[in-house]
Structure 1
Amino acid sequence: MAPVPDLPNEPQDDIEAYVGLARQDAEERARERGWATVRSLAPGTIITMEYLVGRLNFEVKDGLVHRSWQG
């Protein structure tokens, strides 16, 4: 997979810092830091692969963020 480009409309944020946080805490923090869209998904959820600038995705298991990625 190609590297994710650094696009101008995305917050400069350490997305790995969300791993281990409770879902609600992670979502609130992401919105406070300027993410336009925050999406929490269960493991294995089928999603499309389009890249949406300003979106932060979380994979949530047992109420905790296990993975985070942009787009």
Structure 2
Amino acid sequence: MAPFPSPNAEPQDSPESYVGLEVSVARERARERGWSTVRSLPPGAIVTMEYLVGRLNFEVTDGTVTRSWKG
């Protein structure tokens, strides 16, 4: 039987720390802190509910991060 894969640990980083930042600054900071995927979404976007370890989501209004969450 094959071993179970062990996912990489998520960065020990608070998603709330990105709220209020300009999206390009937030994206660069997230990559520097170890997030493997950074996704920017418009307000109210319909997204699937799968959780991806290492992904950080930004809701962006007028170029500014208004909400941020893991997965």
TM over 0.5: yes
Equivalent pairs, count: 65
Structure 1-normalised TM-score?
0.87
Structure 1 position 44, deviation (Å): 1.1
Unaligned runs of 5+ in 1: 1-6
Unpaired runs of 5+ residues, structure 2, are 1-6
- Shift in Å, 1:8: 5.7
Alignment-derived partner of residue 3 in structure 2 = none
Residue of structure 2 equivalent to 1:11: 11
- What RMSD in Å do the two structures reach over aligned CA positions? 1.2
1:26-68 CA-to-partner distances (Å, cap 9, x unmatched) read: 0000000000000000001111010000000000001000000
SS in 1 for 2:25: helix
**Which structure: larger Rg?**
2
Deviating beyond 3 angstroms after TM superposition, the runs of 4 or more aligned structure 1 residues are none
Alignment of 1:7-46 (within 5 A): 9-46=9-46
Post-superposition shift, 1:14? 1.6
